[in-house]
């Protein structure tokens, strides 16, 4: 299937928020609309180290703000003019992987190493198993290579399909796209694709 994949830019902020408004996601946990803002570990969090903004409206408002400021990065997939998929691929890892370090064996990167971190996929239910997450990941890797990144990294689990971790993307997909397991701890894998 042919999808149009667009890099998320400030002018697409409303498209982004609308996708989360209307697309079932996060259904395996509390079904709440996350707007993909809960992964951040900067001062935008509220309350007692809880990284879940309290209401969907608040998450939506933060998402718009983050997209417009360029600190929420990734790719939207369009089909028939509608957004049907999202991949969070962030260049500023300091905003996103700190909380993950408690669980995944993620190293501190040397200052001169540029890492693109893939954090989350949301594919509309009627568009799953059509190769869309794969196309999004391939685009992340292509642009990251063109932009001079050293590698793309993702944080997956073994056997995550059908679990609340599905959004991380299946290991089989990463392997198919040329990633290898760089570090592993208790079933949690840091997978990398070198670009240089
Ligand atoms: C997991 C997910 C990202 C996969 O996206 P997708 O576009 O369907 O994946 P693809 O079609 O590119 O599949 C790539 C590979 O992943 C694996 N895979 C994907 N879905 C699978 C499934 N349901 N069962 C087994 N393997 C699967 C397969 O190896 C597949 O390759 P193949 O089709 O050649 O066998 C998608 O199902 C999804 O978005 N799930 C919901 C995630 C979510 O809740 N996000 C919100 C969190 S707040």
How does pLDDT run across 44-59, given as a tens digit for each residue? Answer: 555 555 555 667 888 8
Which residue owns the Cα nearest ligand 1 atom 33? 129
The predicted pLDDT at position 161 comes to: 86
Which residue, chain included where needed, has tokens 């299946």?
A: 170
Of ligand 1's listed atoms, the one at least distance from the Cα of 136 is 12
The predicted pLDDT at position 51 comes to: 53
Ligand 1 pocket test, pick from 86, 87, 121 with the greatest ligand atom count within 8 Å of Cβ, gives 121
Which residue owns the Cα nearest ligand 1 atom 47? 26
Of ligand 1's listed atoms, the one at least distance from the Cα of 27 is 44
What confidence tier does 95 reach under pLDDT thresholds 50, 70, 90?
Answer: low
- Residue 43 Cα, ligand 1 centroid: separation in angstroms? 32
The H-assigned helical ranges of 35-184 are 56-69, 132-146, 171-176
- Candidates 103, 30, 104, 42; CA nearest to 69 is 42
- Between CA 62 and CA 95 the distance in angstroms is 14
Largest CA distance in the chain: 44
pTM, to two decimals: 0.94
Of 60-64, 95-99, 124-128, the range with the lowest mean pLDDT is 95-99
Q: Is the pLDDT of residue 3 over 70?
A: yes
Q: Is the pLDDT of residue 156 over 60?
A: yes
Which residues does 100 contact at the CB level (< 8 Å), separation at least 6?
106, 155
Please name the helix (run of DSSP H) or strand (run of DSSP E) that holds residue 187, with its range, or none: none
Average pLDDT for 91-107 = 78
Ligand 1 pocket test, pick from 76, 123, 139 with the greatest ligand atom count within 8 Å of Cβ, gives 123
Q: Is the pLDDT of residue 37 over 90?
A: no
Strand partners for 78: 4, 83
């Amino acid at each position: 299937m042919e999808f149009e994949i667009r890099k998320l830019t400030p002018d697409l902020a409303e498209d982004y928020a609308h996708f989360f408004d209307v697309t079932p996601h996060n259904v395996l946990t509390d079904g709440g609309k996350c707007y993909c803002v809960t992964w951040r570990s900067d001062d935008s969090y509220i309350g007692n180290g809880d990284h879940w903004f309290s209401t969907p409206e608040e998450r939506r408002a933060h998402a718009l703000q983050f997209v417009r400021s360029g600190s929420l990065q990734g790719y939207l997939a369009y089909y028939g003019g509608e957004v049907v998929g999202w991949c969070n691929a962030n260049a500023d890892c300091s905003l996103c992987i700190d909380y993950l370090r408690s669980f995944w064996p993620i190293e501190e990167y040397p200052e001169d190493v540029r890492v693109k971190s893939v954090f989350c996929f949301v594919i509309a239910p009627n568009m799953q198993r059509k190769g869309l997450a794969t196309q999004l990941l391939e685009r992340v890797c292509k642009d990251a290579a063109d932009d001079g990144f050293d590698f793309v990294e993702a944080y997956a689990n073994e056997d995550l399909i059908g679990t609340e971790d599905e959004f991380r993307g299946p290991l089989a997909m990463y392997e198919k796209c040329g990633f290898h397991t760089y570090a592993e701890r208790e079933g949690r894998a840091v997978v990398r694709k070198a670009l240089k």
